[in-house]
Structure 1
Amino acid sequence: MQALEPVKPNKLVKPGHIEKREFEYTRHGTQALLAGMDVATGKIIPLIRDTRTEQDFADWLDLVLASDPKAAGWHLVMDQLNTHMSEAAVMKVAAIENTPANELGVKGKSGILKNMETRAAYLSDPSHKVVFHYTPKHASWLNQIEIWFSILVRRFLKRGIFTSTEDLKTRLHGFVDFFNERMAKPFKWTYRARPLQA
């Protein structure tokens, strides 16, 4: 997400005049949002960082797992981003599953860590306490956090003015807190598909 600030202030709505928004802006930097949604409550679990590395994703996994330490199991739905099939993610799940180090192998060479496919297969193992479910490519609509990202853009980012990355981060945490307290609820999908015709 970009911390953008207009070069000149926007002109607000007045009787007989529409709002005028400045199209030139100053870019103060970016922040990466890693977020997950508890589909039972609709609450968001965010992690905001300067980067989006596999270690950042592993730190976000720690947040998710700490949100309900007594959970019998976790089913995490996510896209096929490289960090979602990373060595750090495998190491987190391996620690929970007590997978022997010799089975893990060496990244890029052997074992579970050999490549993204072997790591994804390990992370998707349904016998694990933490199971990753990867959406097919071009199927983001299957992942409910993508619906929330749309809400985030429309209600927070689209008209936001941010003077720094710290301002963006602080206000984003405020928005997520507000959402979790006042707006969070499970999404109910109501679309009924038409039958396929040959």
Structure 2
Amino acid sequence: MPVATACPIVLTAAERHQLKKAAYGHKTAYRARNRAQIVLHAARGRSNAHIARETRLHLDTVRTWRGRFADGGLPALADRKRPGRPARFTPVQVAEAKALACQLPAETGIPLARWSCPELAAELIARGVTDSVSASTVRRWLRQDAIKPWQYRSWIFIRDPDFRGRAQRVLDLYARTYEGEPLGADEYVLSSDEKTSIQARCRCHPTLAPGQARAMRVNHEYRRGGALAYLAAYDVHQADVLGRCEATTGIVPFMALVEQVMTQEPYASAKRVFWIVDNGSSHRGKRSIDRLAARFPNAVLVHTPVHASWVNQIEIFFSIVQRKVVTPNDFTDLDQVRARLHAFEDRYNATAQPFQWKFTTSDLDDLLARLDRHTPTDRHQESSVALTA
């Protein structure tokens, strides 16, 4: 019997370049690499048997992919479409499962706080959407649209009637403008607040330093050594922090911080110093504005909206203090807490850069528009009536 002649392979420069990338690329799939190597060997005039020995593939595999490339070129090296197993679930069933996951269980009469994949699968069967479905299948459907009904985040809905005006005033100060006018070189913006109840917890056993394959170990039991409040003012554009420790918060401790800051340069001789504060009892309302202006005429108190401390940049600094200074809490007494806070303050001021604040008034408008879409009309009216009353 005559022996079948192998299909001759002639490559263009572009085809050779692509095949080499596939044959020697580190991220190429294993089967794609094998097919590219078969074609490259064939282009050198080698027989199928020789190629099979070189690539350690079966002779029929070499013959198949050599023939496919000869008939269809590079596109023929891809897998052909296969019918596969018929889909068990229709697109409508998948859509109903996703729609159910995007509803609160209480709204559907189910006594659950959150959906889980097994609960969703059981509910789909109970509703007759499908005869049977596994929790893993439901999880795969939800993963397609990144739906995770078992997770939740806490948040506070806006209830300040002047939210936009107050928030815009703060955001404009971060952008060095106030009431439409740019700030001068002798005008400063300070973000201030109090970090309350920093405790001195003396561990009953000394904290063990980390070692090889071992994390730091902090004893669970401790003795309480009291608590203090850390008051700080953060210069938004200079990245300087001025702070003090007090036994508690209140009007007197806050005014002591103001006295400490406003008697130092460059704030003592500044044209205006804007103090951004929240609505805590230490600096709430019109009285706090008048109190500050009476003591320091160049000081301007600016309040954030109610329940919007996230607009206040000092909260970012306090989160740094919490992560780098206070946690894990292992102090013998309050004096050690004070010393650590003041030492970190000096360390921070030596190298700090202003925060890259990117939330602008345009982002604020987008946020308010999204919240309006999630506000039921009846609840919105009730909130408006309550605020008016």
**TM-score, length basis structure 1:** 0.74
State the distance in 2 between where 1:150 and 1:169 align: 17
1:84-134 Cα distance to aligned partner (Å, 9 max, x none): 13867744422444xxxxxxxxxxxxxxxxxxxxxxxxxxxxxxx321111
1:18-51 Cα distance to aligned partner (Å, 9 max, x none): 4432111111011111101001111111011112
State the distance in 1 between where 2:253 and 2:213 align: 49
User: Is 2:222 the partner of 1:25?
Assistant: yes
Of Structure 1 and Structure 2, the greater helix share is in 2
Q: Report if the CA contact (8 A) 1:6-1:22 is conserved.
A: yes
Partner of 2:209: 12
1:1-198 alignment runs, 5 A limit? 1-67=198-264, 68-85=267-284, 90-97=290-297, 129-182=298-351, 184-190=352-358, 193=363, 195=366, 196=369, 198=373
Change (3 A) 1:17 1:167: closer
Partner secondary structure for residue 226 of structure 2: strand
1:146-176 Cα distance to aligned partner (Å, 9 max, x none): 0000000001001242111111111111111
Structure 2 unmatched runs, 5+: 1-197, 374-389
Q: Report if the CA contact (8 A) 2:201-2:223 is conserved.
A: yes
1:67-91 Cα distance to aligned partner (Å, 9 max, x none): 3211100111111011113867744
Q: Report if the CA contact (8 A) 1:28-1:163 is conserved.
A: yes
Q: Report if the CA contact (8 A) 1:79-1:134 is conserved.
A: yes
State the distance in 2 between where 1:147 and 1:54 align: 23
Change (3 A) 1:59 1:89: farther
**TM-score, length basis structure 2:** 0.39
Q: Over aligned residue pairs, what C-alpha RMSD do you find? A: 2.4
Q: Report if the CA contact (8 A) 1:36-1:46 is conserved.
A: yes
Q: Report if the CA contact (8 A) 1:54-1:89 is conserved.
A: no
State the distance in 1 between where 2:213 and 2:353 align: 39
Q: Report if the CA contact (8 A) 2:201-2:222 is conserved.
A: yes
State the distance in 1 between where 2:216 and 2:292 align: 50
**Farther off after superposition, 159-168 or 144-153:** 159-168
Partner of 2:170: none
State the distance in 2 between where 1:34 and 1:93 align: 20
Q: Which has the higher contact order (CA 8 A, sep 6+)?
A: 1
Q: Report if the CA contact (8 A) 2:279-2:303 is conserved.
A: yes
State the distance in 2 between where 1:179 and 1:25 align: 29
Paired positions, count: 166
Change (3 A) 1:82 1:166: same
State the distance in 1 between where 2:288 and 2:304 align: 20
Q: Report if the CA contact (8 A) 1:57-1:89 is conserved.
A: no
Q: CA deviation at 1:138?
A: 2.1
State the distance in 1 between where 2:240 and 2:256 align: 18
State the distance in 2 between where 1:39 and 1:59 align: 20
State the distance in 2 between where 1:148 and 1:66 align: 23
State the distance in 1 between where 2:239 and 2:213 align: 41
Q: Which amino acid aligns with 1:77?
A: I
State the distance in 2 between where 1:18 and 1:173 align: 27
Structure 1 unmatched runs, 5+: 98-128
**Farther off after superposition, 184-193 or 140-149:** 184-193
Partner secondary structure for residue 316 of structure 2: helix
Q: Report if the CA contact (8 A) 1:49-1:56 is conserved.
A: yes
Q: Report if the CA contact (8 A) 2:218-2:328 is conserved.
A: no
Change (3 A) 1:174 1:72: same
State the distance in 1 between where 2:356 and 2:210 align: 36
